[in-house]
Structure 1
Amino acid sequence: MAESESGADKSEEPTDKRLRESREKGQVARSRELNTLAVMLAGTGGLLATGGELGDALLRVMRACFDLPREAWFSEESMGLLLMASAQTALEAMLPLFVYLLIASLVGPIALGGWLFSAEALAPKFSRLNPLAGLKRMFSVKALVELVKALAKFVVILMVGLAVLSADRDALLAMAHEPLEMAILHSAQVAGWSALWMACGLMLIAAVDVPFQLWDNRQKLMMTKQEVRDEYKDSEGKPEVKQRIRQLQREMAERRMMASIPQADVVITNPTHFAVALKYDPAQGSAPVLLAKGGDFLALKIREIAQEHKVMVLESPALARAVFFSTELDHEIPAGLYLAVAQVLAYVYQLRQFRAGKGKRPGPLPDLPIPPDLRRDE
């Protein structure tokens, strides 16, 4: 199990944020052996595919350089043209091989860590200039692993090279008796196949190195329990701050709710535990809307503000509880309470008419019909 600099065990898997930040910093799994293998395979494969063209180009350059007329030896202009022509011939012959190598140099890193460009990874790090840190890296476990891999590569390539030379010994000796042109083409073919077999020998090293690099990178990204908690606090916010924000939001919502009570048509109470303020606008043609609701101390404040602004306050415990538990602020009451609230609003209208001297005093508020599914008992 990995340990952090503080000595705590890194027992937790890296979070998505940790993985994302590591990619932004360029900290992804990379395998030099995989990159080397890709370049070697592309180079040897390209050499085999274009060996004939390379041999022909080499023969043309040799003929042009060794079969010169006497006048060309004493002409600076002719020698310059010959040099340019030879360079052009060599470049055209080697261009496909260069393309193969370029593609391989890009595919190798992308195959393991994906495409990644990080400006932070390119920035200079002055901490690498610290001699003590350099000595620590030289004698670290990672340096030991790199040394073992280097020795393994040397042994594998040496063994494959000896095996290839032993298998091609007769062909190599026969080249001495072949014509020059055929010997050049034959040597290019032998060199290409020999390099290809030695490149294939690196597959064993890459097969071991790739899983190790993935594991090593994962270990570096592992987190301690404290790091996970700190990251959660940073991303989600500290509990104290979140609690304070929720408190402020509640206070703002309560202030807005209290400011809307003077616009209500009626406040229905429990009478002490709950209070709800309703408003009905006939011009809108919709159901009554809940402007404010509260329990205990908040219910008391709603009643005080309603009395201060001469909003009618009526006691109907069953209806107050039903509206309180079934309706959200600034929402219409459910259809099951239409009839009960309509009776309350009619009673309020009659009471206003009586106080204005335009009608008889209404009797007591009748029992209101509350559907069983909306009824809430204390």
Structure 2
Amino acid sequence: MADDGAEKTEQPTSKKLQDAAEKGQIARSKDMGTAFVLIGSATAILVFGKMLAMAILDIGQRMLRLNPKDIFETNSMFTAWGDVAQHLIPPMAGIFFIIVIAAFIGNTFLGGFNFSWQAAGFKASKMSPMKGLKRMFGLQALVELLKSFLKVLVVVGFAYFLLKMFFFDIMALSLMSEPNNIESALHFLAWLFFGLCSSVSIIALVDAPYQKWNHIKQLKMSLQEIKDEYKSSEGDPQIKARIRRTQMQMSMKRMMQEVPNADVIVTNPTHYAIALKYDQGKFRAPVVVAKGVDEVAMHIRKIGNEHKVPVIESPALARSIFHTTKLDHPIPEQLFAAVAQVLAYVYQLKMYKKGKSSRPKSLAKNLPIPEGYRH
């Protein structure tokens, strides 16, 4: 019994469909393209057929009429061809335009417009006789054979029905005088052609859903293929976790390198540690250069002590800055007043240690922290 992971039971993902389209593998119905071209041709003849017939009639009369003056005119042949072009180009251009539009719509209606260099390129596998025999005697070849029989039956049936319906009208053409019989004959022929072309649309209506179903069936995926695709597109979870760890380590190392340059470290005193730096010429407010909890906080305090960075205990302010300010970002405006008191105290303490000022008063325990910024 086949393993469930190997059974192609899942619908193709969008990436699978996109990759297939890049290789030129899209749902296409040749019968739909043929039906659109034939119906478009019939429509073009119905629209421009009379104009084309009259142009041909005028050209025939012009070419078969002998004018004595033209015998001695050396440019008469070129003039005649100019008249032919003048009469034929407008109806032929209209017919050609309708057919081109119909062909484009018919061939892009099912799978959309798609051009693939991979599909257009040379592949040695296409020249393989074995693969050619497989295509000739495979399921797809059998389906195409059945469709061919169905086409013949449908077209012959429609032809018989149309001839039987218009039989007496066609026979009546022999009783009409020229040019009415020509116009009527063209009218009948155009509608007969349109009816025969419309019969092909029945095949297209059956073939288009089948081609869509067959295309999806060929691209179905197994559960393992979906997992492999996810890993290749999103990345292996283990590798991503390793990358995140490496990024965190690099970020931690860079953060610790900034601690010696800090002006003050605000602590909880044990759980939180925030290193602040204030450069009046560069920042409008103090910036958080390092922050952390527990072991990271202890490491920040250790580096600060080694480099004689002032450490101030203010639990409420430490928690507030930690939860409201990102790393390398300035503190929020609502904490300016509280941080300003801390920096002022640190500055006075430095002056005192240098003997340039008296000992500062102890920092206030209840710093001005807004209610919404308390954590």
Give the TM interval when normalised to the shorter protein: 0.7 to 0.9
- Structure 1 segment 248-263 matched on structure 2, within 5 A: 248-263=246-261
Q: Which residue of structure 2 lines up, in the alignment, with residue 275 of structure 1?
A: 273
Quick check: 220-229 or 153-162, which moved more?
220-229
2:297 to 279, 299, 305: 299
Give 1:324's match in structure 2, choosing from 310, 322, 325.
322
- Out of 221, 224, 228, the residue aligned to residue 223 of structure 1 is 221
Looking at structure 1, the residues matched to 324 and 75 of structure 2 have their Cα atoms a distance apart, in angstroms, of 100
Equivalent of 2:34 in 33, 36, 57: 36
- 1:176, CA displacement in angstroms? 4.2
Alignment partner of 1:129 is 2:127: yes
Of residues 110, 114, 117, the one that matches 1:116 is 114
Asked if 1:148 is matched to 2:143, the reply is: no
Tell me the secondary structure at the aligned position of residue 274 of structure 2.
strand
Q: 1:52 corresponds to which residue? A: 50
Q: How big is the shift at 1:292?
A: 0.9
- After superposition, what is the alpha-carbon deviation per residue over 1:279-321, rounded to whole angstroms, capped at 9, x for unaligned? 2345678443222112333223322322232211233444433
Superposed, 1:188-203 pairs within 5 Å as: 188-203=186-201
The range that moved more, 54-63 or 84-93, is 84-93
CA 1:103–1:280: 2 relative to 1, 3 Å: closer
Q: Mean alpha-carbon deviation: is it higher for 177-186 or for 257-266?
A: 177-186
Q: 1:339 to 1:184 in 2, by over 3 A?
A: closer
CA offsets per residue over residues 52-94 of structure 1, 9 Å max, x none? 3333344455556666699x99x9x999869957974885354
Any conservation in 2 of the 1:267–1:303 contact (CA below 8 Å)? Answer: yes
Matched with 1:239 is 237
Question: Aligned letter for 1:29?
Answer: A
**TM-score, normalization by structure 2:** 0.82
Q: Is the 8 A contact 1:267 1:314 kept in 2?
A: yes
Task: Indicate the residue corresponding to 1:10 in structure 2.
Answer: 9
Question: For residues 52 and 197 of structure 2, what CA distance do their matches in structure 1 show?
Answer: 20
Q: How many residues end up aligned between the 2 structures?
A: 369
Report the Cα offset of residue 161 of structure 1: 0.4
**1-structure distance, mates of 2:303, 2:258:** 10
Q: Percent identity?
A: 39
Native 8 Å contact 2:8 2:220 kept in 1: no
| Alignment-mate amino acid for residue 8 of structure 2 | D
Aligned partner of 2:158 in structure 1 is 160
Query: Is contact 2:6–2:223 with CA below 8 Å preserved after alignment?
Result: no
- 1:265/1:312 contact within 8 Å kept: yes
Worse-superposed segment, 43-52 or 179-188: 179-188
Q: Residue deviations 1:216-268, cap 9 Å, x none?
A: 23333333322322222222222233223323322332233222222212112
CA distance in 2, matches of 1:82, 1:352: 108
Partner of 2:202: 204
CA distance in 2, matches of 1:107, 1:28: 15
Query: Which residue identity is paired with 2:39?
Result: L
Deviation at 1:152, TM superposition (A): 1.6
Unpaired runs of 5+ residues, structure 2, are none
**SS across alignment from 1:23:** helix
Distance 1:374 1:190, change over 3 A: closer
What is the SS of the residue equivalent to 2:109? helix
Residue matched to 1:351: 349
Q: Please tell me whether the aligned partners of residues 55 and 88 of structure 2 are also in contact (alpha carbons under 8 angstroms).
A: no
Cα RMSD after superposing both structures: 3.6
1:96 paired to 2:94: yes
- Are the counterparts in 1 of residues 10 and 221 from structure 2 also a CA contact under 8 Å? yes
1:329 counterpart SS class = coil
| Offset, 1:159 | 0.9
Gaps of 5+ in 1: none
C-alpha distance 166-273 of structure 1, shift in aligned 2 (>3 A): same
1:193 Cα offset (Å): 1.4
Instruction: Note the alpha carbon deviations across 1:26-69, whole angstroms, 9 max, x for none.
Output: 33322222222222122222223333333334445555666669
Cα gap change, 1:361/1:205 in structure 2, threshold over 3 Å: closer, same or farther? same
1:155 is displaced (CA, Å) by 1.0
- Note the C-alpha offset of 1:373: 4.7
CA-to-aligned-CA distance 1:134-188 (integer Å, 9 cap, x gap): 2222233322222222222211111110111112222333344555655444332
Provide closer, same or farther for how the CA distance between residues 190 and 263 of structure 1 changes in structure 2, counting only shifts above 3 A.
same
Task: Give the whole-Å Cα distance in 2 for the aligned partners of 1:94 and 1:335.
Answer: 77
SS at match of 2:110: helix
Larger mean CA deviation between 89-98 and 117-126 belongs to 89-98
Q: Which segment drifts farther, 180-189 or 227-236? A: 180-189
Does the Cα contact within 8 Å between 2:155 and 2:199 map onto a contact in 1? yes
